[in-house]
Structures are given as structure tokens and as C-alpha cells.
Chain A
């Protein structure tokens, strides 16, 4: 089967190159059949990638250890759920996922535009074909996911324990879908530039793809934060790690893009800016893919030495150079159709929000690459930490949230002072009320930045609520509908607008969580013996007993040994139990003793979180197994060549010993306020984005009519 997979990739490479060549030839010579043939080659590529993906996934599911990739990243005792995810936990497998998603997205967009955009589409096909060819070339030439082992090993290495978290099932595919999705508008932008069709056609055709990409990328980032919070054992959700930054940067520029294209659609402005933004987004998406694989920056996601760093850099450099040249070449065709009338207008505020977003991205880009920059400038490698990022991004984030409230309610072109007063009266009043309330009843003033953020969030939420109220009451006066129905209809009939408002509300809520949890969390590190207790933020936490479980922990990660703790928590007469634990995975290192091998492999914290709308209590335990070191060493010496079942008995005895006479264990407890709202806000934003991208009935009707009239035209011309 591995041979079939390899063949699929090789044929796919040729299909991608053919697609690029045929569509360019067809476009230059006005031969429509060649263009169609190129498009069909992309469909064919998608089919080939799917077959390859299915073969590899099947190999993972049945743990075919003759596949090198399966032997490296999976094992027979890996739970089935994680066997599925193990495919994209490997370098080669994740490249295949990239290529597969790209070919599917490309096929979808080319299918949808097959009867429209006859000029631009062939060039977009060519661009997508070249990008796909690059990824296939990487796999065919250097990182073949279908490499086989001459002698299949008895057992695979297993999936890295840190990646055994439910979010890992969807987090990487979501990020990749986001990265890949932005290649669609990029390809069409290039097509528009080449054909000088720089109007809003390419934007209308790909706007929804940009929105889909944006949503997926955002969801992926949110899930990554959740993974960090609940799996990594340090209690934070964002560390300004290079790989995290790499995913945030294209998202920020992509956000700027989906705003500024509205200005081009409505007013014919910002054309150069839009094509530059989408090129930058695509380059940053490639950079994100590259950073995870290159090892050029120190990161917690440390990277293995990779063989494809140079190829990636060359490709990124080519894309940058080619896009810049193309934009400069077509500069005369990118003149604005109108002028900015007033600085108090929606387009002006969209421009401002764009500048803030791009500014944020530049700050993060600078900080991420600072080790390389400083080494180039001063000769010593220096780095900036989270405090630097926080200090610079906080003011920009504040400005961004404020703009989130103001931008969408301003009219296009020009806003009169009286209209401005009417729009902003209630929100400003609400903001001031929130400020007064926060100062009077909370200690929010301890952190001025957070206080400002709370006020701005109140402002945004009031603006959005006011817009919904206005729209719904207008419907009510006209149609006499009841409130819920009026609201639902309002949302359904103006999906882009009100979906967008929902996204803004979600982002505001997200920042509420960030501001509260970053400034007002309480954290304690303690060492406790059973019976001891400590207090954190009003919670009385008592270490009741130690636990030791063998074979199968509660969260289904497949860890052989889990030592943990049961803690009773009391607050205000309420009572609940937390059960954090630590999983121990066995090591494959043959130099270790038969028993110590079980404790010397990876170990991961399985934290327990009591989620709450007002406050989370987060608890991690680090059992001290040094007390077991002596008996483990003795067992190593005594039972050097015992069969598996006897080993199991010894491990059970050791676990028993830990349970009955546990040494003091180290605990980290974090009480962070409102942190759950980060993910609630994220979910609201995703919901809003779904509403905004869902095709409206009118649009569907228009499309059906267009197809019908095109057909009619064809018939008539034939007749």
C-alpha cells in the first residue's frame, strides 16, 4: 500500500504542474478547453491526495509498523482516538494534510467559479497548482510519508504524550485549514493583478473563503490556547511562543484583509492595500508552517532538525519577490475609484483598524524574530520575553477593541455630528456607568490597562446590543413581529452585518476574559502531605489522599501509570473535589532497568479544572516519586529479566506503596477570574462568523438566476 501512496503523490505532483501549465497556456491562447482541463487536473489532484491520505490514515488505524511514520509516531497501545491524530503529529504526515486540504479547497473554489471569472480563474488555478506542486515536491523529494522499514519493529514509539489531548484532534487540522484557506484569495488576487481585472470581482468570489479561513485559523488558535491551559501544566493559555505567534500573525493580517476588502467592495478604495494584505497573509501562513519545521527559533515546541527548511525559505522568498514585483508592475491599474471623503466615516475607521492590526502583527513579527535580528545587528543573540510583548501589545489591543465598537456603526462616506451623537450617546453612557461601577465595587483600578479594557468591552457590547435593538424594533414596527422572531429574522436577512456584530461582541467578551485573568489571577505553589490544606482566593483546599492508577487513566490517554491526588475544596459552604494527576509513560531506552523504564519516560500533568463563569480553580500535582527510587532500583537489580506479567505485579506493588505512604507532593493552584469567557467569547465569534458566511437566500437566488441565464445564452447562441 505504501507504494500506492507514493505513486499517488508522484502522479499528484505531475497533475499539479499540468494544471498550472495547461491553465496558463489556455489563458494566453484563449483556449477554453485547456483551461477546463487544468481545472480538472486540480480535481484529480484532490482525489489523489485523498487516496494517499486514506492509505496513510488506514495504516495508522491498523498500526502497520512497516510504515516508518507509523512506527515513529504511533504504537499498538496508543488509544484509537490518538492513532487517528498521530498522522498529523508527524512532519511528513502534516505536509500531506496541508496538500490534501489545499487541493480540496482549490477544487471547491474552482468548481464554484467555473462559470464566472473566466479571465481570473485560469491564473488562480495556476497559482494554486504551483503551491500544491511545492508541497508535493517536498514530500516526493525529501519527506515521503510513505517511507517503509525493511524490518517492521515489534512495537512503535507511540504518540508523544503531550499531544494526547482531545484538542489535538482538531487543533492542527483547524490551523492548517486556516493557513490553506488564505491561499485561495491570494491565488485570485494574483489572477486579478495579472489580468488587470482589479475591481471587486475577485473579492466577491473569494470573500467567503477568506472568512472560512479566518474562522478556522481563529478556532485553531483558541483550541491551542485551551490545550496550553489544560495540558501543559503551567496554567497559562498564551506564552508568546514563536509557534503561537506564527499562527496569530496571519490571523491578524487576515482580519485586516476581511475588513479592508469591504471598503474596496463598497467604495473602490484601498486596492493596493488589499492585494498587499492578502499577499502578506499568505506569506505569513507559509511562514507559520515553516517555523514549526525549521528550528531557527528557540521554542517550547522545539523542532527536530528538519531537512526542508531551505526549500521553504526559497519558496517564501520567491512568493514575496513575485508578489511585490507583480503589485509594482500593476500599480497603474490599482488606482482608487474614489477619495476618502471624511475621517469620520466607516472607511476611515476601517483603515485605522487595519493600521492597528498590521501594527500588532509587526510588533509580534519583530519580537518573534528578535533573536535573529539582534544577532545580525549586534552579534549576540538576545530575546524578548512575554513582558515585552504584553507591554507593546496592550495599548494596541485596547485601541483595537475600541475600534471594534466604533467602526461598524459609522456610515460610509461621512457621518454628521448629530448622527454621531445619536449613535454614541447610549454606549458612552454605559461605558461611564461601567467605569463608575468598577471603581466603586471592585479592585479593577489596580490594573489601569484592565480597567480600560473592561470599559471598552462594555462600550462594544452596548453598541452591538443597541444595533440589534434598533434593527429588531424597526422590524417590529413594520411587521408587528414578536421580539424573538424579529431578532431571528433580522439576523437571517442581514447575515453579513449582524453576523459581523456578533463576531465583534465575541471578540470583546474574549478580551474581557484576557484582561481579567491576566491581571487578577492568584497563584500558589505548595507542598502538601495528605491531610494538609492551604487557602487560595477564598478556596480552602485540603489534600485528602494520594491515588495511583495503573493502566488507563480517566481521560483516556493510554498512560500506563498515573499518580495523582484527591483534594477537597470548600468555599462559602460549597464543596467539590478535584482530582489532578500525573501520567508516567514508559521509556524505550534499553540502558534503563526493567522497572525504572516505566517511570523514566515522558510524564505529563493531567490538571483538573473547576470551570466557572466567575472564576476557575485550576490544580496541577507533581507527585514526588523520589521516595520510590530505592525500591525501583532494587527491583531493577532483582528482576532484570522478568516476564511482563511479573513486571506488572511489581509496578502494582510500587503503586500500592505510593498510595499508602505518599511523600509530600507539590501542587500548583491557580484561581483566575473570568478565564472561561475567553473561550465563550471565541465561540460567540465563531458563531457570528458562521452566520456572516452562510449564503443568504437572495444570493442563492441570484446565483441560480445567473446560471440559468448563462445556460439560456448558450442555447440561444447555438440556435
Chain B
């Protein structure tokens, strides 16, 4: 094979590989992703990654299970959550949380260990974290 054809061939192989990776990236990410939503938007029959704030005085412990309500970040509509598994350290009333699950009979049944609490980061002023 003459050198210029060889180079061309290499380029084609390389581009094809890159294209393949890109397609895999796009395809898998769209098929594996879960929709992010607010408590006021969740509908039954689909799994969501719900972000919102824990409603004050709503946390109840029931054995291994944890029940609480999550409301929209800036709103009052809320949904009851049933959660089991590890509760992150910064979990508190009024804190922003992310939880994955599905709405069943009016209760958001969360996947085990899916609760993430946005911790009052090192860059958040402590006071803001508490007044919210």
C-alpha cells in the first residue's frame, strides 16, 4: 500500500472509532438517564430523580423506613416520600435533597440508598443553610 493511502485509511479508521464512541455516548446517556423533576411535576408510572426541600416537621422514622415530605424549592406543593437505606449525614428538615424513585399511590417510593443531601457546602454561608 502506498503511504498516502495508508494515511487515509488510518484517518478513516480513527474517525470511525471516534464516531462509534460518540454514538455510544449519546445513545447510552439518553437511554440510561432519569428525568430530574420537582415534587409538583412527578407523575405515576415513570421513575424520577426528584429534587426539592424537606418540609419542616415532616420527618418520621418507622423502624428502618423513613417518611418525609419534599416540596418544590420555591413553592409549597409537596409529595410524601417513603425511603429506606442509608440517610446521608447532612439530612435535615429544610435541606435540599435529591432522591430517586417512582410515584405509587400518591407516595414517592424511593430506591434504596438513593437519597443525596446537598450538603451546606464549604462555600455556603452557614446562616443561609439554617434559615432555609
* Interface residues, chain A, with chain B CB atoms under 8 Å away: 72-73, 89-91, 94, 157-158, 160, 162-163, 232-234, 292-293, 298-304, 306, 355, 359, 362-363, 366-367, 370-371, 374, 380-385, 387-388, 391-392, 525, 527, 587-589, 602-605, 622, 624, 626, 666, 668
Cross-chain contact B121 with A304 (CB below 8 angstroms): yes
Task: Compute how far the CA of A480 lies from the CA of B113 in the bound complex, rounded to whole angstroms.
Answer: 61
Give A397 Cβ to nearest chain B Cβ, in Å: 14
**A384-B32, A587-B130 as given contacts; A362 in contact with B25, CB under 8 Å:** yes
Task: Compute how far the CA of A303 lies from the CA of B88 in the bound complex, rounded to whole angstroms.
Answer: 17
Give B53 Cβ to nearest chain A Cβ, in Å: 12
Give B54 Cβ to nearest chain A Cβ, in Å: 14
Cross-chain contact A302 with B32 (CB below 8 angstroms): no
Q: Is B87 an interface residue (CB 8 A)?
A: yes
Cross-chain contact A603 with B89 (CB below 8 angstroms): yes
Cross-chain contact B130 with A366 (CB below 8 angstroms): no
Q: Is B72 an interface residue (CB 8 A)?
A: no
Neighbouring B residues of A602 by C-beta, 8 Å: 89-90, 120
User: Closest residue to A351 on the B side, CB-wise?
Assistant: B14
Cross-chain contact B123 with A384 (CB below 8 angstroms): no
Give B117 Cβ to nearest chain A Cβ, in Å: 7
- Chief secondary structure at chain A's binding surface: mixed
Give B7 Cβ to nearest chain A Cβ, in Å: 9
Q: Which of B33-41, B75-83, B101-109 contacts A (4 or more CB under 8 A)?
A: B33-41
Cross-chain contact B128 with A304 (CB below 8 angstroms): yes
Please give 7 more A-B residue pairs, beta carbons under 8 A apart, in addition to A302-B124, A527-B64, A666-B64.
A90-B123, A232-B88, A362-B21, A380-B35, A382-B35, A603-B89, A605-B89
Give B40 Cβ to nearest chain A Cβ, in Å: 14
Task: Compute how far the CA of A383 lies from the CA of B29 in the bound complex, rounded to whole angstroms.
Answer: 8
**A383-B34, A383-B49, A525-B85 as given contacts; A304 in contact with B29, CB under 8 Å:** no
Contact partner, A160, options B14, B61, B120, Cβ 8 Å: B120
Contact partner, A622, options B87, B96, B119, Cβ 8 Å: B87
Cross-chain contact B25 with A392 (CB below 8 angstroms): yes
Task: Compute how far the CA of A367 lies from the CA of B30 in the bound complex, rounded to whole angstroms.
Answer: 10
User: Closest residue to B26 on the A side, CB-wise?
Assistant: A366
Contact partner, A385, options B34, B120, B125, Cβ 8 Å: B34
**A72-B126, A626-B61 as given contacts; A233 in contact with B88, CB under 8 Å:** yes
Q: 27 A-B residue contacts at CB 8 Å? A: A72-B126, A72-B127, A157-B126, A233-B86, A233-B88, A299-B118, A300-B119, A303-B123, A355-B14, A362-B25, A363-B21, A366-B25, A366-B29, A370-B33, A380-B36, A381-B36, A383-B34, A383-B49, A388-B28, A392-B25, A392-B28, A525-B64, A525-B86, A527-B63, A527-B64, A603-B89, A622-B87
Task: Compute how far the CA of A34 lies from the CA of B2 in the bound complex, rounded to whole angstroms.
Answer: 54
Neighbouring A residues of B33 by C-beta, 8 Å: 370, 374, 382-384, 388
Task: Compute how far the CA of A184 lies from the CA of B121 in the bound complex, rounded to whole angstroms.
Answer: 30
User: Closest residue to A381 on the B side, CB-wise?
Assistant: B36
Neighbouring A residues of B125 by C-beta, 8 Å: 72, 304
Cross-chain contact B122 with A163 (CB below 8 angstroms): yes
User: Closest residue to B36 on the A side, CB-wise?
Assistant: A381
Neighbouring A residues of B123 by C-beta, 8 Å: 90-91, 94, 292-293, 303-304, 306
User: Closest residue to A234 on the B side, CB-wise?
Assistant: B86
User: Closest residue to B59 on the A side, CB-wise?
Assistant: A626
Cross-chain contact B124 with A298 (CB below 8 angstroms): no
Instruction: Indicate the member of A302, A374, A392 with the most B CB atoms within 10 Å.
Output: A302
Give B74 Cβ to nearest chain A Cβ, in Å: 13
